[in-house]
Structure 1
Amino acid sequence: MREKIIHKSADLFLSYGFKSVTMDDIANALGISKKTIYLHFDNKTKLVEATTLSMFNIISHGIDCICALEKNPIEEIYDIKRFVSEHLKDEKSSPQYQLQKYYPKIFNSLKNKQFEVMYKCVNTNLNRGVELGIYRDTINVDFITRIYFNCMLAIKDDNLFPNNTFSKNMLMENYIEYHLRGICTIKGIEILNEIIQKNQS
């Protein structure tokens, strides 16, 4: 039952936001009493914490599996973007903003975990790209890895990019292209253009 509660809570939180969804909403969606939820979680904060950790673990495992395939580094970035978008439902409710505002301790803990995973993944991607001659060998890998992570957080900021003007998917597509055009060699740009054309058709 604990896993069912976490799964349904994740679904509701991503659809409507961490603040908007109540324990009653979760109980009603599962067809159980609120009392049953409290048998597994002392309060909503504990449930939010367990849910975000579960989502983080699922996404981290998926990213690890994609990276283990050792595809072309440019293709790998787009595969990870697709995988994350599918699992986060294009984040229509801006869960990151609500998490940061109403559950700052959980947000900061999650952010640190995300940085560890993304640092390793992006750093490896950049080094492989340089070795394969599709990223410039003059790039500062550590700097770009950190900038990449921070920009990924920034494009999810509703104050900078309001939901009614920018879809999260469009922001991701534009940012990834912006990132890659800044680091690719001529060979890399050719591969990037092919992938963009393929995605548009």
Structure 2
Amino acid sequence: MREKILEKSKELFLNLGFKSVTMDEIASSLGVSKKTIYKYFKNKTELIDAVTLHMFNTICTGINGVCELKLGAIHELFSIKKIILENLKDEKSSPQYQLQKYYPKIYASIKQKQFHVMQDCVVDNLKKGIETGLYRDNIDLEFISRIYFNGIVGIKDKDIFPLTNYSMITLMNNYLEYHLRAISTQKGVQELENQLKLK
């Protein structure tokens, strides 16, 4: 039951926002009483904390699975983007914005976790890209990995990128292309063009 509550809550939070969804709505969507939810989570904040961690772990597992496939560096990033979009299901409610505004402690904690995972993942990807001649060998790994993370977080800022103007898919696609064009060699750009054709 706990798993069902997490999955249904995730779906509602991504579509309607963390602030907007009530415990009553979650219970009603599941066809259970609110008491059932409170058996597993003592309040909404605890449920949100569990849902964000659940989403984070699911995405991490997916990313690790992609990394184990030993794909080329550029192909790997496109595959990771696909995993993230599948899990966020083109979020419609700026959940990150609501999380940041109404549940700042949870937001700060998850952002810290994301940073550490992404930092390692991006640095590994950059090294692989340099070794295979897809990325320029004079890039600063530490700087690029941090700027990449900052950009991924930044494109979710609904004041700068309102969801009425940009879907999450468009933002992710544009940002990934922007990132790769900045660091790729001629060979890398060719691989990027090939990946873009497959979209």
| TM-score, normalised relative to structure 2 | 0.98
Aligned AA (1:58)? T
Q: What's the CA shift for 1:198?
A: 2.4
Q: Show the counterpart of 2:2.
A: 2
Q: Is 1:48 matched with 2:48?
A: yes
Q: Give the distance between the partners of 1:198 and 1:43, measured in 2 at CA.
A: 44
Aligned AA (1:162)? P
Unaligned runs of at least 5 residues, structure 1:
none
Q: Show the counterpart of 1:114.
A: 114
Runs of 4+ in 1 over 2 A off after TM superposition: none
Q: What's the CA shift for 1:4?
A: 1.3
Q: Give the distance between the partners of 2:66 and 2:54, measured in 1 at CA.
A: 19
Aligned AA (2:31)? G
3-state DSSP class of the match of 2:89? helix
Q: Give the distance between the partners of 1:152 and 1:198, measured in 2 at CA.
A: 22
Number of equivalent positions: 199
1:138-159 C-alpha deviation (Å, 9 max, x unpaired): 0001100000000000000000
Aligned AA (2:137)? D
1:49-81 C-alpha deviation (Å, 9 max, x unpaired): 011111110000100110111101001101110
Q: Give the distance between the partners of 1:108 and 1:134, measured in 2 at CA.
A: 34
3-state DSSP class of the match of 1:120? helix
3-state DSSP class of the match of 2:52? helix
Aligned AA (2:44)? K
Unaligned runs of at least 5 residues, structure 2:
none
Q: Give the distance between the partners of 1:198 and 1:173, measured in 2 at CA.
A: 12
3-state DSSP class of the match of 2:130? helix
Q: Is 1:101 matched with 2:101?
A: yes
3-state DSSP class of the match of 1:54? helix
* Alignment of structure 1 residues 16-165 onto 2, 5 Å: 16-165=16-165
| TM-score, normalised relative to structure 1 | 0.97
Q: Is 1:188 matched with 2:178?
A: no
Q: Give the distance between the partners of 1:80 and 1:6, measured in 2 at CA.
A: 23
Q: What's the CA shift for 1:94?
A: 0.8
Aligned AA (1:28)? S
Q: Give the distance between the partners of 1:185 and 1:136, measured in 2 at CA.
A: 5
Q: What's the CA shift for 1:11?
A: 1.0
1:129-178 C-alpha deviation (Å, 9 max, x unpaired): 00001100000011000000000000000001011111111111111111
Q: Give the distance between the partners of 1:115 and 1:26, measured in 2 at CA.
A: 30
Identical residues among aligned pairs (%)? 57
The RMSD of aligned alpha carbons is 0.7
